A and B are shown apart, each in its own frame.
Chain A
Amino acid sequence: MTARRHKAGQDEAEVDMTPMLDIVFIMLIFFIVTATFVNERGLDVTRPDSEDPPPTKAVTILVSISAAGVISMEGRDIDVRAVRANVERLIAENPDSSVVVQSHPLSESHLMVGVMDQARLAGAAGVSIAELN
């Protein structure tokens, strides 16, 4: 009889974890289901810093895109794939020069992204975007 009583007392002393576990499992399932892992690739758009004065030696390389989608550099019309070679040549002449892509508002954005990509491939120190008037 004493042994039975002792046993009953021990059972009651244990905290029942079941409701807490139910909640923990439900929270776990909620967070697993709502977990969204965004894998988005993108080109960082450099923000022109107005506070820093531009270095005097640096030259900006202008690449313009017309409304019809014609890319021109230094007064010549070139292909998107030729932008890299031209920018590389100008960077070899003036290291640390940055590239400004002047895009007409009516040109298609894949040209702008393509030119930015080419300029970055050429190793330009900075690529920024401007609107062509």
Chain B
Amino acid sequence: MGARLAQKEKDEAAVDMTPMLDIVFIMLIFFIVTATFVKQSGLEVIRPPAETAEDQRRVSILIAVGDGGEVWMDNKEVDVRSVRAGVEKLLAENPLGSVVIQADTKSKSGILMQVMDQVRQAGAPGTAIATEKD
């Protein structure tokens, strides 16, 4: 009888970890599913203001155009003509990701149009120009 009592006490002393484990697993699955590895451009730009801008979903590639006309993608400065090849390579990793071009307010629109043209040729599912809320 005494042995049985001791056994019962020991069982009650152990904390039931099951609910915490359930939560941990759900969090793990959430973070795995939402994990999007965004290719940052590597250049901080001043975005032009716009009122009709929409939140961009499924962004996977960021391309920056600096005020001096330099083009940055995937943390490297690249030539305008090699943007297409770079976007194609990154799209192969994430075919559903869209492209956002971060053009500096003072950048020339000719470079921006060249980058847009290259992105279009690469076959990106969506292209947008990054803006800031007024």
Contacts and interface: CB of A to CB of B under 8 A. Distances in A.
Whether chains A and B associate is yes
Which 9 A-B pairs give the minimum distances between C-beta atoms? Answer: A105-B110, A42-B128, A31-B31, A110-B48, A110-B105, A117-B50, A120-B52, A113-B48, A41-B53
Chain B's interface size range is: 35 or more
Interface string B16-33: 000001001101100110
Contact of B104 (A3, A38, A107, A109): A109
B110 A28 contact: no
A17 to B, nearest CB: 8
A107 B24 contact: no
Contact of B65 (A3, A36, A43, A109): A109
B100 interface: yes
A36 B49 CA distance: 24
Interface string B106-130: 1111111100100010000011111
Contacts of B50: 41, 43, 113-114, 116-117
Contacts of B55: 39-41
B91 to A, nearest CB: 16
Contacts of A21: 21, 24
A87 interface: no
Contacts, number: 141
A114 B48 contact: yes
Interface string A15-47: 001000100110110011011111111111101
Interface of A: 3, 7, 17, 21, 24-25, 27-28, 31-32, 34-45, 47, 65, 103-114, 116-117, 120-121, 129, 131
B108 A41 contact: no
Contact of B130 (A36, A40, A116): A40
A123 B51 CA distance: 13
Given A21-B24, A40-B62, 10 more contacts: A7-B7, A17-B21, A34-B35, A41-B53, A42-B54, A45-B127, A109-B109, A110-B105, A116-B50, A131-B110
A7 B108 CA distance: 79
Contacts of B132: 41
20 contacts: A21-B24, A24-B25, A27-B32, A28-B31, A31-B28, A38-B38, A40-B55, A41-B50, A42-B129, A44-B128, A45-B116, A45-B129, A107-B109, A108-B106, A109-B48, A111-B109, A113-B103, A114-B50, A117-B52, A131-B110
